Amino acid sequence: MRLDHVYVSLKVLSSLQEGQKLSTKNGLLSIDRKTSPFMRWLNGDNRVTTLMYVTNVVNEGIVSDCRQELLESIPGIESLKVTYAEDSSIVAGIDVLLKKILLKTTSMKSRAD
């Protein structure tokens, strides 16, 4: 994944609000403005795909030392957790991802000091 895609995706995540869903169309993360479940299905957007894509973005952000952008993405990722609150496996995956961000950004800060 290109570094500029990582930055853009982390920025999109930082602006995500509760109840909004994400789209991974065209290899870029964006907030899905469509409300039709059929259109989401047609585009291949679903919660599992979203979590996998967000995980990849976060992993790339960690590798690329995007500490500030990762920290700014936390509220949006927490909003995603609320959006999918009824799906315990997705919530668990998001919890693991949030913990990973916090652990890695803390270690990034330690290295920078």
**Is residue 65 within 8 Å of residue 3, measured between CB atoms?**
no
pLDDT for res 38? 78
The structure's pTM equals 0.88
Q: What is the pLDDT of residue 113?
A: 60
The identity of residue 17, as a single letter, is Q
How does pLDDT run along the chain (113 residues), one tens digit per residue? 789 999 999 999 999 999 999 988 777 888 987 667 777 777 778 899 999 999 999 999 999 999 999 999 999 999 999 999 999 999 999 999 999 999 998 887 766 66
pLDDT of residue 18: 95
User: What three-state secondary structure class fits 34?
Assistant: coil
